[in-house]
Amino acid sequence: MSEYKEFKYGWPVLTSAALGVGLGMSPLPFYTIGVFVAPFIQEFGWRVDQIMFALSLFSLTALFTSPLIGFLNDKIGVRRMVLISVITFSFAFMAFALNNGSQTVYLGLWICLAIFGSGTLPITWTKAVNKWFFKKRGLALGMSLLGTGLFGAFAKLYASHFIESYGWRSAYIALAALPLLISLPFAYFFFRDTDDPKVQDKIARMKKDLPYLENKEIVDQPGMQLSEALRNYRFWILAFSFIPISIAVGGPIPNFETILGTKGIGAADAVVIASVVGYSVIVGRVVGGYLLDKLWAPAVACVFFLIPIIACYMFQSPELSYGSAMAAVFIIGVAAGVEYDLMAYLVSKYFGMKYYSTIYGALYGFFAIGAGFGPWFFAKSFTMTGSYNTIFGYAMIAFVAGALPLLFLGKYQYD
């Protein structure tokens, strides 16, 4: 079990990544937008689909910024990118408190958030994690992305408390302060890539302590260039698969409070049940990450992305009990927990680490399309039909369409 010693050397990067991802652009705006729906409707008279459309613009902007961020990660280093981006993300998120009821201002704030916060996406953090871990890479990635579930669950309740006690503007400021107070200090002191001169002694000790690393390149690991990846059929399988999967997984999460309300569940209970998605994401991260190291990753992914069909069927019921609603949310959350670490793992195994961030950034753009438009599709369907039943039927099809092609990825190209 000597491979577990990788955690002895990689824990500083792992901990920093868990906090950085959990308090970054990926979970905080996405997981909390649902609790701001009611205040916006009450104060500004907006519709649910108008509010959720912001996520579409947000993700469309990320579609263009994520490849650039990936390129910059590979050029200037992930540590520098992280330290700059945590600060700019926090202040861009605080600016949401300036919303005056103008849809133009509201949508503009989301575009700015995507521009100034993209450096806090998993694209940046997972590059360093991948380079510190080898035999336990899947588990390490799952653990580094645990922050999404932990802070996703916490952020909903945290924001809801501030909205009830101090108003929604104070809630945005309180949320935006978390990265500055928590993830930034950890990143400054502990987040270093394997090419950092300050960790070369540690890498030498790690190679001596773990014999299977003796002849392995750690600082300058091999991999494809983006141009090579784009000519590889595996890139396009991943790109195609993650669009329907991200729609089906990401679509209901910001809408959970409204979805649960249509099933006869009260507002207070709906917030509590919706927060369960954060804890189930943790289960998906850990269990999925562990299995990625043990089994062929595409098969693991296929199973994890077919199981949520059960949750979609449950959500089509006229009414849901408290327990059934919690179970359905939990299932969706487990699938959400597999997404990011799966993408990070597959990129490292099929395209290598040399230009990891550039390739991951290009693939993330496709994921962003689905994640951005999914919530709006769900909200628009509800606005048009008064129910979420139809869109959950389409989500079942999306899970099948996204999961099955992953089985054609073939054997890994890099160790």
Average of per-residue pLDDT across 341-363: 89
Among candidate residues 354, 351, 350, the one with its CA nearest the CA of residue 412: 350
- Residue 352 phi/psi, 5° resolution? 80, -175
What SS3 class is residue 237?
helix
Q: With a cut of 70, say whether residue 122 has pLDDT above it.
A: yes
**Mean of pLDDT values over 261-277:** 83
Give the whole-angstrom CA distance, residue 255 versus residue 383.
12
pLDDT of residue 167: 93
Q: What is the largest CA-CA distance in the chain?
A: 64
- pLDDT beyond 80 at 217: no
Q: Which residue segments constitute the domains of the chain, with CATH numbers given?
A: 2-408 (1.20.1250.20)
pLDDT tier at 23 (50, 70, 90 boundaries)? Answer: very high
Please give the Cα distance from 265 to 326 (Å, whole number). 11
The angle subtended at Cα 408 by Cα 403 and Cα 413, nearest 5°, is 115
Distance from C-alpha of 206 to C-alpha of 221, rounded to nearest angstrom: 16
**pLDDT for res 171:** 95
Q: Can you name the residues that pair with 223 across neighbouring β-strands?
A: 352
What distance in Å separates the CA atoms of residue 332 and residue 77, rounded to the nearest whole number? 34
The answer to whether residue 203 scores a pLDDT higher than 70 is yes
Is residue 180 very low, low, confident or very high in pLDDT (cuts 50, 70, 90)?
very high
In angstroms, the CA 14 to CA 9 distance is 10
Q: How far apart are CA 381 and CA 401, in angstroms?
A: 20
**N-terminal to C-terminal alpha carbon distance within the chain:** 18
d(C-alpha 14, C-alpha 8), whole Å:
10
CA 378, 379, 382, 387 dihedral sign is positive
Chain-centroid distance of CA 268 in Å reads 26
- CB atoms under 10 Å from CB of 142, counted, come to 28
What φ, ψ does residue 223 adopt, rounded to 5°?
170, 170
Length of the chain: 415
Q: How far apart, in whole angstroms, are the C-alpha atoms of residue 107 and residue 99?
A: 10
The DSSP symbol for 411 reads S
62 pLDDT tier (thresholds 50, 70, 90): confident
Give residue 276's pLDDT band: very low, low, confident or very high (50, 70, 90): confident
Determine the pLDDT at residue 263: 87
Spatial distance between the Cα atoms of 18 and 277, rounded to a whole number of angstroms: 17
Residue 214 has pLDDT above 70, yes or no: yes
Q: What is the DSSP letter of 208?
A: H
- With bands split at pLDDT 50, 70 and 90, how would you rate the model's confidence at 1? low
What is the DSSP code (8-state) at residue 77? Answer: -
Q: 338: which 2 tokens?
A: 């597999």
List the beta bridge partners of residue 352: 223
Residues 377-394, mean pLDDT to the nearest whole number: 90
- Per the DSSP assignment, residues forming a β-bridge with 125 are none
CA 171, CA 154: separation in Å to the nearest integer? 13
Question: Do residues 146 and 20 lie in contact, with contact meaning Cβ atoms separated by under 8 Å?
Answer: no
Structure token digits, residue 154 = 């916490």
pTM above 0.85, yes or no: no
Q: 122-132 vs 322-351: helix axis angle to the nearest 10?
A: 60
Neighbours of 306 (CB within 10 A): 16
Q: Which has the higher per-residue pLDDT, 368 or 114?
A: 114
User: Which residues are CB-contacts of 164 (< 8 A; sequence separation ≥ 6)?
Assistant: none
pLDDT tens-digit map of 284-328? 888 888 898 889 999 999 999 999 999 999 999 888 888 898 999
